[in-house]
Chains A and B, each alone.
Chain A
Amino acid sequence: MSNTFRLTSGGEINRAERISFKFNGKNLFGYKGDTLASALLANGIHLVGRSFKYHRPRGFLGSGSEEPNAIVQLHKDKAKTEPNIRATQIEIFEGLEAKSQNCWPSVNFDISEINNFLSPILPAGFYYKTFMWPAKFWKKYEYFIRKSAGLGFAPTKRDPDLYEHQYYHCEVLVIGSGPAGLTAAMIAAQSGKKVLLVDEKPEHGGSLVGSNDQVTRIDNKTPKEWIQNTYLELLKNKNIKILNRTSVAAYHNYNYLIMMQNLTDHLNENDKKNKIRQRLWKVRAEKVILATGSIERTMVFDCNDRPGIMLSSAVRKYLNHYGVKCGNNVIIFSNNDDAYETALSLHDKGVKIKAIIDIRKESNGELVKNCVDLGIKIMWKHTIVKAEGHKRINEVVIMKLSSDNNSVVGDKIKISCDLLCVSGGYTPAVHLFTQSGGKLAFDEKKFYFYPEKTSLDQISIGSCSGIFNLKKIIQNTYIKVNTFLKTNIKDKTIVSDYKSGGFDNIWLLPSNKISGKTKSFIDFQNDSTANDIKLALREGFKSIEHVKRYTTTGMATDQGKIANMHALGIISDITKTKMGELGTTTFRPPFTPLTFGALVGRNVKEFFDVTRETPMHIWHKNNGAKFEDVGQWKRAWYYPINNESMYNAVQRESKAARENAGILDASTLGKIDIQGSDASEFLNRVYTNAWSKLGISKCRYGLMLNEDGMVYDDGVTTRLGENHYIMTTTTGGAATVMSKLEDYLQTEWPELKVFLTSVTDHFATVSVCGPHSKKILEKVVKNINFADQEFPHMSFKEGIIDNIKCRVMRISFTGELSYEINIQANYGKAVWEKCMKAGKEFNITPYGTEAMHLLRAEKGFVIVGQETDGTVTPGDLQMDWIINKKKYDFIGKRSLYRSDTMKEGRKQMVGLLTENPNEVLEEGAQIVAEIKKNPPMEMLGHVTSSYFSPNLKKSIALAVIKNGKNLKGKKLYIPMKKKVIEVIVSDTIFLDKEGSRLNG
């Protein structure tokens, strides 16, 4: 196909750059600057899609983001394919492939069009009523409903494109670069403020783009020249940033706005490579100027959805901006003077206008007079009662309106045509204003909602505020913006505009048929008709929000751009309620659809979540460690050798730690430096046990409770000096414990002289355990006497490793003789390597978190978060010994004396031994006292930790069980899917109960 509908000259396309693309498999071409819509229209293609419900043929209605029909599937590639893209917004590029949606086998012949013939039995809400019976058939119905739901196809492969986010702060944000927006931006920029000007289109100028040069002049320039001049003037200001192809998706409170900028969608594939496709802007503006323009309304009559029925302003834009005539035999149908500008433009370009049908009685506007002078036929006080044609309009049926506009009279007049331009007036685009919480008012004379009240620092200017005359728009913009910005920029603009006639409005045009025999569409995207609205009202839906949901009017991506006003108008007419009293539905973000890619930005792959690494991370990586996520930390999990399985690696590591020496990276534990004269008292209040008498250089284990008496965190705290402690916390609890303690100091105990400083990242912690650990430490830290009497269990010494100070604690989480070296993080890796070197002769073995868990389970040490779940008290853990009842208070003390926390039979921690020593229980498995043939069985508790102990050569487990303290020796059962495992309740300590190993 060639560009038979392309004018030989004119338009803003670059005719030197021809671009090939495919639509529904056909090779076509357009020019640089074309949208997919303009290029298709240039090729004479109007039929681009099928409607959602009835599969009716549909063509282009508009030329921008208001387009409800021409939504297509882009790209064939399974990763890049994208559904529901408005052809009116896609700029063509070499190799573009698009196809129609919601049709099979093709848009020309769509089998599902049978729905159109079945439409009498498919009214609004039919699915709410039809599929109620028989109930058992629901699964069948559901299959077909799901199959027919949705439009287009989602990509099935990972999105290869790049997206990013951008925060931006400005003093003035201007949304929309039409005549009002450009003027406002100029005033703001000249006042020296930091300005951001955005527009969703590739070009600036808004409603002036595509306007008739002969009709409008600004400062004695054509609209195009004025736009270009103003744009260049704006660029001279360094304080302004101008973004095009940027759509404001959402306007939140406090002038926080989300925008999406399209950066590469209009480029050829080669030019797109390694570039950001879309950027999501998160803008905070001190002041917002809304210049979002207005959207032309369609007219509601029988079969007003035929391909070839287009908004008058869109036809004008295609003609003047893209150099495309949308038809050869044109009829214009209007209720206002604006459509006459389109008529003049078409006439100028030699397109035949067969008639202008105007529902008004007359108009004294200048454009109307010009049309009359040119001999264009105008049919006053007439309406279209039906559009004929199937895949393209070919005729309209016209009748005269009665004097009260409620009916049609006289004979039918039929006029053939291939294009019908409709203009039902303009609706201010108040979507963003209402998103921001602004309240609308309704002008009962002009039939539109306009912005009335807002609590934000914002104004609406131009046609979105309800002013449609260009001269008035410019004048009003100067007045409003100067007041808003407290500036005094003089208005020197000279606008020569036309005098306009009146406006008459009929929401649902009368017909010669009964309404049940007509299909007058209100929402093209969702196939809602005027009859659907009437049905909803008959069925008792009065609120516009209910009618919207019942009929799906204004839903999905339309969000009230085209559909809502007519729906409201029809409700108003039928219920005899003023439209202002009906209100509008909620215009929800996004104003235009956002891609998931833009929402996610660069938070993908390695940037999906934040990761933390210890100073020894690179060593672990180089030595084949497998890592596990603990909070945000990457912790060495186990170190497989020669493709060893995790089980074998953990067994080997655990055995080595008991028999020779093991080394663990414990740097992730939280560390809090505590100083101040009340440090001991502070610890008394934070932990359940007593701290005042802890000797200097001694360590003590502490259990921290929440206010509800449940275990919150634990760790060893060391007294470094009279008033100086270092507390360790769990890895995952470090930040919350620090925050909680700081909160208590600032709000509950301001009288305490205590200062906290987080040093978690400052220290690397190397933990060496096992029978040979002492010998290894002696080789590494030479200034410390490691003799047991000098350096007993639970004590601390300062050491020096090659002139670098370190802290060595003799503490153990494995039950083995164990030391922890804390050294400045930047030396951590070197000290780790020193320990490895020193331990080589003792077969030192690095072990990961999994072996650590196994070793501590052998010893019966709890892990907060594994044995506890926020409902476990110290008593439940059989750790009553750690509660100092003599202390005046500590966090959670009061809760420990509640009847519930004191009652017998709570879930308590116990050990479990399997009857079969080789049977390893599943963590999380439920425990019962007796097995029944069928559930339910009373569940006593669950397994919290379970391992095969290589040191004890049997399976061991920890569990929490109701009344566990009193069940020692009792046989219980663990029902699994295919078997029942018998277990005996045991002590929680499986190894070295007397502590001889850790005491050396």
Chain B
Amino acid sequence: MVEINKTINESKYFNNLSMEEKTPILKLNLRGKVNNKDFTNNVGKILGLILPVEVGSILLKEYLSIITTGPNEWIIISNNKENNDYELENILFEAISKNNLGAVTNITDQFTIFSLVGSNALQVLSKSSPFNFDKLPNNFSAQTLLNNIDITIVKKDKENIDLLVRRSFSNHLWSWLNDSARFL
């Protein structure tokens, strides 16, 4: 079996903040026009939901989460940690990509997800991100810069944050987070 190699293999604890890398799980990038009913209907049927359209909004289901990252773009993240099954990719690819309704692309390893938990979760981000987290509702996401690195922040609540960062930047960002968190 080919050995899987996470970018970060440690959990860290600071003053009111714990950080770790989430287990790599299936992530799909979905692109299509929301005014194309064939696209939205097909996606809706396969996923059993109505695609959110407000950019930044997040739809949380038991088995997956959908982040609306643009007016015609979504990231679908499996919530099934144990069964990292790519069947969903195939079904969506056949229904959407093959029928020229949109594009389904596997981006599982494109992003590393850091989980930040604790009352200082947003505080550490504000050491380098100009984003106003007061204006970011729970279960909403924002694309911004952290230490000059593109990130997507998923705010579940103010003490539970997921950070999506491109894999190649993850080590650098992890070092920066560790450095900044020690001064909390």
Point out residues on A near B: beta carbons under 8 Å: 162, 164-169, 194, 275-276, 282, 284, 602, 606-607, 610-615, 617, 633, 668, 673, 675-677, 721, 723-724, 753, 755-763, 801-804, 823-831, 834
Chain A residues with Cβ under 8 A from B100's Cβ?
A: 676-677, 723, 753
* CB-based contact A801/B180 at 8 Å: no
* CB-based contact A762/B107 at 8 Å: yes
Complex Cα–Cα for A791 and B75 (A)? 35
Most buried by A among B97, B100, B147, B168: B168
* CB-based contact A755/B31 at 8 Å: yes
Pick from B42-50, B56-64, B123-131, B155-163 the stretch touching chain A: B123-131
* CB-based contact B127/A610 at 8 Å: no
Q: A602-B179, A753-B100, A829-B5 are in contact. Are A610 and B132 (CB under 8 A)?
A: no
Complex partner residue of B2 from A168, A612, A724, A834, CB under 8 angstroms: A834
Q: List 24 A-B contacts (CB under 8 A).
A: A167-B126, A167-B127, A167-B128, A194-B134, A276-B183, A282-B130, A284-B130, A284-B132, A610-B148, A611-B171, A612-B166, A612-B168, A612-B169, A615-B109, A668-B168, A676-B100, A721-B97, A755-B31, A755-B72, A759-B107, A825-B109, A827-B3, A827-B4, A830-B3
Closest-by-CB residue of B relative to A169 is B132
* CB-based contact A615/B183 at 8 Å: no
Complex Cα–Cα for A677 and B108 (A)? 25
Known: A613-B172, A617-B171. 18 other contacts (CB 8 A): A162-B183, A166-B126, A166-B127, A167-B127, A194-B134, A275-B183, A611-B171, A612-B169, A615-B167, A675-B31, A675-B97, A675-B104, A755-B31, A756-B31, A761-B110, A801-B2, A825-B109, A825-B167
Complex Cα–Cα for A510 and B102 (A)? 85
Report A949 CB to chain B, min CB distance, Å.
32
Complex Cα–Cα for A168 and B134 (A)? 10
* CB-based contact A826/B5 at 8 Å: yes
Number of B residues contacting the other chain (C-beta, 8 Å)?
48
Closest-by-CB residue of B relative to A762 is B110
Whether B137 sits at the interface, judged by CB under 8 Å, is no
Report B151 CB to chain A, min CB distance, Å.
12
* CB-based contact A826/B109 at 8 Å: yes
* CB-based contact A761/B127 at 8 Å: no
Most buried by B among A282, A607, A675, A755: A755
Most buried by B among A169, A617, A834: A169
Chain A residues with Cβ under 8 A from B6's Cβ?
A: 826
Closest-by-CB residue of B relative to A829 is B5
* CB-based contact A761/B183 at 8 Å: no
Complex Cα–Cα for A459 and B121 (A)? 34
Most buried by B among A633, A759, A826: A826
Chain A residues with Cβ under 8 A from B133's Cβ?
A: 169
Whether B13 sits at the interface, judged by CB under 8 Å, is no
Closest-by-CB residue of A relative to B171 is A613
Report A616 CB to chain B, min CB distance, Å.
9
* CB-based contact B129/A167 at 8 Å: yes
Complex Cα–Cα for A830 and B109 (A)? 14
Q: A282-B130, A614-B168 are in contact. Are A164 and B180 (CB under 8 A)?
A: yes
Chain B residues with Cβ under 8 A from A167's Cβ?
A: 126-131
Closest-by-CB residue of A relative to B109 is A825
The 9 closest A-B pairs by CB, nearest first: A755-B103, A675-B103, A612-B168, A825-B109, A755-B31, A762-B110, A677-B100, A169-B132, A757-B105
Per-position binary interface string of chain B over residues 1-22, scored 1 when its CB falls under 8 Å from any chain A CB and 0 otherwise: 1111110000000000000000
Complex partner residue of A827 from B5, B106, B171, B180, CB under 8 angstroms: B5
* CB-based contact A168/B5 at 8 Å: no
* CB-based contact B172/A611 at 8 Å: yes
Chain A residues with Cβ under 8 A from B65's Cβ?
A: none
Main secondary structure of the interface of A (DSSP, over half): mixed
* CB-based contact A612/B172 at 8 Å: yes
Complex Cα–Cα for A823 and B4 (A)? 11
Most buried by A among B2, B110, B132, B147: B2
Report B117 CB to chain A, min CB distance, Å.
21
Q: A673-B105, A830-B3 are in contact. Are A606 and B175 (CB under 8 A)?
A: yes
Complex partner residue of A757 from B31, B126, B131, B147, CB under 8 angstroms: B31
* CB-based contact B1/A803 at 8 Å: yes
Closest-by-CB residue of A relative to B168 is A612
Report B158 CB to chain A, min CB distance, Å.
14
Complex Cα–Cα for A169 and B144 (A)? 15
Whether B34 sits at the interface, judged by CB under 8 Å, is no
Complex Cα–Cα for A803 and B126 (A)? 42
Complex Cα–Cα for A606 and B180 (A)? 13
Chain A residues with Cβ under 8 A from B29's Cβ?
A: 757
Complex Cα–Cα for A804 and B6 (A)? 16
Chain B residues with Cβ under 8 A from A759's Cβ?
A: 105-107, 110
Chain A residues with Cβ under 8 A from B31's Cβ?
A: 675, 755-757
Closest-by-CB residue of B relative to A168 is B126
* CB-based contact B1/A828 at 8 Å: no
* CB-based contact A610/B183 at 8 Å: no
Report B7 CB to chain A, min CB distance, Å.
8
Complex Cα–Cα for A169 and B122 (A)? 12
Complex Cα–Cα for A801 and B167 (A)? 22
Whether B111 sits at the interface, judged by CB under 8 Å, is yes
Q: A166-B127, A761-B109, A825-B109 are in contact. Are A755 and B2 (CB under 8 A)?
A: no
Chain A residues with Cβ under 8 A from B4's Cβ?
A: 826-827, 830
Whether B77 sits at the interface, judged by CB under 8 Å, is no
Complex partner residue of B110 from A194, A276, A758, A804, CB under 8 angstroms: A758
Chain A residues with Cβ under 8 A from B129's Cβ?
A: 167
* CB-based contact B108/A633 at 8 Å: no
Chain B residues with Cβ under 8 A from A675's Cβ?
A: 31, 97, 102-105
* CB-based contact A830/B5 at 8 Å: yes
Chain A residues with Cβ under 8 A from B172's Cβ?
A: 610-613
Whether B52 sits at the interface, judged by CB under 8 Å, is no
Closest-by-CB residue of A relative to B104 is A675
* CB-based contact B167/A830 at 8 Å: no
Complex Cα–Cα for A723 and B100 (A)? 8
Chain B residues with Cβ under 8 A from A275's Cβ?
A: 183
* CB-based contact A633/B127 at 8 Å: no
* CB-based contact B107/A164 at 8 Å: no
Whether B24 sits at the interface, judged by CB under 8 Å, is yes
Complex Cα–Cα for A606 and B147 (A)? 12
Report B176 CB to chain A, min CB distance, Å.
6
Complex Cα–Cα for A673 and B28 (A)? 12
Whether B55 sits at the interface, judged by CB under 8 Å, is no
Chain B residues with Cβ under 8 A from A633's Cβ?
A: 168
* CB-based contact B147/A610 at 8 Å: yes
Chain B residues with Cβ under 8 A from A724's Cβ?
A: 97
Chain A residues with Cβ under 8 A from B132's Cβ?
A: 169, 284
Complex Cα–Cα for A351 and B102 (A)? 87
Q: A284-B132, A826-B109 are in contact. Are A607 and B103 (CB under 8 A)?
A: no
Chain B residues with Cβ under 8 A from A804's Cβ?
A: 2
* CB-based contact B183/A755 at 8 Å: no
Chain A residues with Cβ under 8 A from B169's Cβ?
A: 610, 612
Complex Cα–Cα for A611 and B166 (A)? 12
Report A988 CB to chain B, min CB distance, Å.
33
Most buried by B among A276, A804, A824, A834: A824
Complex Cα–Cα for A25 and B28 (A)? 69
Q: A612-B168, A755-B31, A825-B109 are in contact. Are A164 and B5 (CB under 8 A)?
A: no
Whether B51 sits at the interface, judged by CB under 8 Å, is no
Chain A residues with Cβ under 8 A from B72's Cβ?
A: 755
Chain B residues with Cβ under 8 A from A829's Cβ?
A: 3, 5
Most buried by B among A194, A668, A675, A828: A675
Whether B149 sits at the interface, judged by CB under 8 Å, is yes
Chain B residues with Cβ under 8 A from A166's Cβ?
A: 126-127
Complex Cα–Cα for A783 and B100 (A)? 29
Chain A residues with Cβ under 8 A from B148's Cβ?
A: 610
Chain A residues with Cβ under 8 A from B106's Cβ?
A: 759, 762, 824
Chain A residues with Cβ under 8 A from B104's Cβ?
A: 675
Complex Cα–Cα for A830 and B129 (A)? 35
* CB-based contact A826/B180 at 8 Å: no
Complex partner residue of B149 from A162, A610, A613, A760, CB under 8 angstroms: A610
